[in-house]
Structure formats: structure tokens, C-alpha cells
Amino acid sequence: MLTFTGRGKSNTCNGVTRRDFLQAGTLGAIGLSLPDILAAKANGALRPGEEDKSCIMIFNLGAPSQLDTWDMKPDAPSEIRGPFKPIKTKNPEFIISEILPEHAKIADKFSVVRSVHHTGAAVHDAGWQMMQTGRLFTGGINTPHIGAVVSHQRGRKTDLPAFAVLPQLMGRGGGNMPNGQAGGFLGKAHDPFALNADPSVENFKVPDLLPPAEIGTVRLDRRKKIRDIVDQTTASFEASENAALLDSNFESAFRLMTSPAARDAFDLSKEPSKVRERYGMTRFGQCCLLSRRLVERGVRFVTINTFLTVFDEITWDIHGSKPFTSIEGMRDQVCPMYDKGYSALIEDLDQRGMLDSTMVCNLAEFGRTPAVNPAGGRDHWPQCFSVYFAGGGVQGGRIIGASDPIGAVPADRPVQPADVAATIFHSLGFNTEDYLPGPAGRPFPIVDSGHAPIHELF
């Protein structure tokens, strides 16, 4: 939430105050300067020539059933295999569910890891933390989202933020824990820019992109000049860390709000109708299209939340009875919009020559129980599930790892959340053995020791 009309004050530990003009919430993915980036390269944080890689993380909130999508068990008993049939792809060993026909057509472009697991509690929030940061929050330390690390290490390339979340941040998950979609100990300056709007609605506008109607660009510019005068007369405040954060947040918001290029990036009306329709006129489909436009214009990391909460809407959370989703609901509502949006994104990136430099990873907090429950659904199961990757150097059409005959536990090449995080960082050109400035000034590893990228994907 940005406020340019309030009369707030900033207070520091030495008692100095000044009028702020800006409250920054989710907006403010501010990064390092060019010298900082060059320094990071010098100490191994970045691999030379890979500073411009991007990532689109599709987070399948609610958790798809691996047995009904990417890890089918057609020879298992009916209570395990479920109601859907597999269909073939270009790779005879790579079968996929009949409820994802568009995925089957482009299966040569993505690869599936069928052996992911974690030891966190079987609650959504715990899985959200682990899969988006590579860790479970412990000891009062909130670790940063992968996109926040990218923001911190590389900064913005244009007036647009380095890290964005579409269509908005995750809501409740039932566990009352942080969801992992923040800057964590790296600070609010590396929280994502959240769209906070549905790009599929008519006359779609970004709430935080333009100043309120009562403040035009001229008045906004005048306020910035007044603020500069205040800056010059409060030297003690300007020397503080509080002032540096306020200045960077103000500058970030000001640049975004007054940038024609930023407005253009979010303007989906510039896309031909047939392109928008190819993605699907759904919230998810148009978020996929918008993610392509943002990456194309310099945003380094975009997370798309397929759904916003596991409550009050149809999601991947197929417990089978209300208020949750049934397997039929997944077939009839979730998969058609998801299948359409994802396949359009991959094809569009490929046709534009962007897929090699843009990783698209599809993650979830856990999988579903091997056995169908009495309500006809499947329950939470972190012991084994599937994720998949395309672009960013990934070789498509591969199956990495395997689950046991009923999809209950990994049978080959076990993969943990930290390995998934390492894989994304590797695609983006990071040295996964490097460190971040952690809590209390102590070095904090980008990826925990003992974990590494899934090299079989590349």
C-alpha cells in the first residue's frame, strides 16, 4: 500500500523527525549498485555472463496430486491410481494425465522431478516456506524468498522492480505462519512488488502504479523537490540507516509511478486479442502473460500464485468435500485454466527467443496421499511429490528421480527444498556456495551445506 497524501513522520532513534510523503509496503525491490554487482562477481556470487537470467516461479498453492498429474501409476490399484488415464508425449517414457492435454503437447520443453520430499509439517504454510526459501523458519529467523535474494544480489535493471508477485501475496494457509514471500532478514527493501489486482478484469489497472487522482505528476514532482530541501536541512537524520531505507523506497516508488516504460509493461491492452485469448481470460492466464511482459522489460524474478488461499475458492487442495475441492473440480475447473496458461507461456517465451534465458519452475508445498480418501479426494502428503522446470538452460522431456509404485516415497534421486532452491539459483548464474549478509551480521549461506542443484536437468 502506497500513500502519497498522508502527513506522516519518520522517527529515528536519535529523535529527529521529518515529513515522509511515502509509506512503502510491498513496493520496494531495491538492489545493489553497479559497483556492488561487480564486487559480487569478483567474490564468486555471480557467474560471468549470466547477470541477465530471469525466473518465473509458478507456485501451485494448495498442492496438486502427483498421482493425477505428472507421476501417474496406471498399474496400481484403483484407490491409488485414481480416475484419470495417462496420455503419451513425444518421449514414450514420459506420460502425463489426460486432464493436462496442452502440457502433453509441449512435454519436450519441460522436465519433471518426481522425487521431491520434505520433513516439514503437512500444513500449507510450512511447505510454502520451505519451497520458496529452501528452509523452514526456525529460531525466529525468517529466511528470504529466492526472488528477494535475487533482488538483493543483483538489483533492478529498469524502473520496474527486481522481484514481483502476481496477482497478490498468498493469504492464509491454516498454520498462522509466515508464507515465505518476503525479504526476510534481507529487509523490506527486498520484499516483492505485489500487483494487488486481477489482470483478467475489464479496465485492469495496477493500484500502486499511479499516484492518487488528486495528485498529478507535477504535484508529485514538487513533493519530491520539497523532500530534497528537507534532506539538506536534516543532516543528522540523513546519516542514519532509516533515512537510507526511506530514500531508496521513495526513489523506487517515484520511479515506478512516473515511468512510461513501467506503465507500458503492465498495459495488457497492448497485447493482441488472440494472444490474450491464447493464455486464457482467467486470472492465472493473464498473470502468465503479464509475467512474460515483465521479464521481457527487465524484471528479474516473478512469482505467480496460481491461487491466493486454500479457503473460499477452488484450488489444488483436493480433499474431496466442501469447502475444499473435489477431484472432479480439479478436472473441470483447475486444470483447464492452468493447462492453457502454462502452455501458452512456454510457447510464447520459446517463440520470442526468451526461454533459454528464463527459467519457469512449477512448485508446490507438498503432494497428495497415495490413497483416495473416503470423500473421493486426497489429503496432504509432504513425503513425495513432483515439481517441474523449463527454460533457463533446462533440457526438456526428462524425468528426474522416481517414486515408489504407489507414489508414497522417493525410490530414486531424492530431492529436498534446498536442492530446488539451488537449482533455481544455478540457472540464474549464482554461486550456490556463496553467502548472504545474515542476521546479526553473520554470513548466511545462500543454500544450506550438503545441498546442490539438480544437475541432471541441465
pLDDT digits (tens, 9 = 90+) for 205-225: 888 665 554 445 555 555 555
**Beta 110-116 vs 301-305: how paired, if at all?**
unpaired
The reported pLDDT for the residue numbered 425 is 98
Q: Could you tell me the pTM of the whole model?
A: 0.84
Q: Which range has the worst mean pLDDT, 254-258, 278-282, 450-454? A: 254-258
pLDDT over threshold 90, residue 446 = yes
| Residue of 424, 362, 404 lying closest to 73 (CA atoms) | 404
**C-alpha cell recorded at residue 278:** 491464447
Parallel, antiparallel or unpaired: strands 86-88 and 358-363: unpaired
Q: Which residue has the higher pLDDT, 285 or 323?
A: 285
CA distance 403 to 413: 9
Strand partners, 302: 56, 164
Listed range (23-37, 235-249, 404-418) with the worst mean pLDDT:
23-37
* Higher pLDDT pick, 241 / 92: 92
- Weakest-pLDDT range from 55-69, 241-255, 290-304, 434-448: 241-255
On average, the pLDDT of the chain sits at 85
- What is the Cα gyration radius of the chain? 22
From 168-177, 292-301, 330-339, the region with the lowest mean pLDDT:
168-177
Phi, then psi, of 427 in degrees rounded to 5: -60, -35
Arithmetic mean of pLDDT, 169-186: 92
What are the domain boundaries of the chain? 1-25+213-262, 31-209+266-457
Instruction: Identify whether the C-beta of residue 419 lies closer than 8 Å to the C-beta of residue 451.
Output: yes
Q: What proportion of the chain, given as a percentage, has pLDDT over 90?
A: 72
CATH topology for 31-209+266-457 is: Alkaline Phosphatase, subunit A (3.40.720)
Per-residue pLDDT at 285: 98
Alpha-carbon span 98 to 94, nearest angstrom: 13
What are 363's strand-pairing partners? 59
User: In whole angstroms, what separates CA 452 from the centre of its chain?
Assistant: 20
Q: What is the DSSP string of 181-206?
A: -S-GGG-GGGSPEE--S-TTSTT---
Q: Which of 11, 35, 19 is nearest to 240 (CA)?
A: 11
Tell me what pLDDT residue 427 has: 98
Out of 83-92, 98-107, 245-254, least confident range: 245-254
Does the pLDDT of residue 22 top 50, yes or no?
no
Task: Tell which residue, 135, 147, 204, has the closest CA to residue 26.
Answer: 147
Residue 150 reports pLDDT greater than 90: yes
The CA angle 361-362-363, to the nearest 5 degrees, is 110
pLDDT tens column, 362-372: 999 999 999 99
CA pair distance 397, 90, nearest whole angstrom: 8
Q: What is the pLDDT of residue 13?
A: 35
What mean pLDDT do residues 85-107 have? 94
Q: What string of DSSP letters covers 134-164?
A: SS--BTTB-PPPHHHHHHHHH--SSSS-SEE
| Set of cell numbers at residue 420 | 530446488
Kindly state the helix (H) or strand (E) to which residue 286 belongs, with its residue range.
helix 283-296
pLDDT of residue 234 exceeding 80, the answer is no
pLDDT for res 93: 81
> Where residue 174 falls among pLDDT bands split at 50, 70, 90?
confident
Q: Is the pLDDT of residue 435 over 60?
A: yes
* Mean pLDDT value of segment 25-35: 35
Q: What is the pLDDT of residue 210?
A: 55
pLDDT the model gives residue 259: 82
Residue 232 pLDDT class (50, 70, 90 cuts)? low
Instruction: Mark residue 178 as left, alpha or beta (left: phi above 0; alpha: psi -120 to 50; beta: remaining).
Output: beta
Say which amino acid occupies 396: G
The predicted pLDDT at position 172 comes to: 81
CA 358 to the chain's CA centroid: 13
Q: How far apart are CA 436 and CA 246, in angstroms?
A: 22
Res. 239: pLDDT tops 60: no
Q: Is the pLDDT of residue 14 over 80?
A: no
Per-residue model confidence (pLDDT) at position 16: 29
Quick one: pLDDT at residue 207?
Answer: 81
- Rounded to whole angstroms, how far apart are CA atoms 373 and 80? 10
Spatial CB neighbours of 308, under 8 Å, sequence gap ≥ 6: 61, 167, 168, 170, 171
Supply the pLDDT for residue 233: 54
Other beta carbons within 10 angstroms of residue 185's beta carbon come to: 18
Torsion of CA 278, 280, 286, 290, to 10 degrees: -10
d(CA 5, CA 212): 8
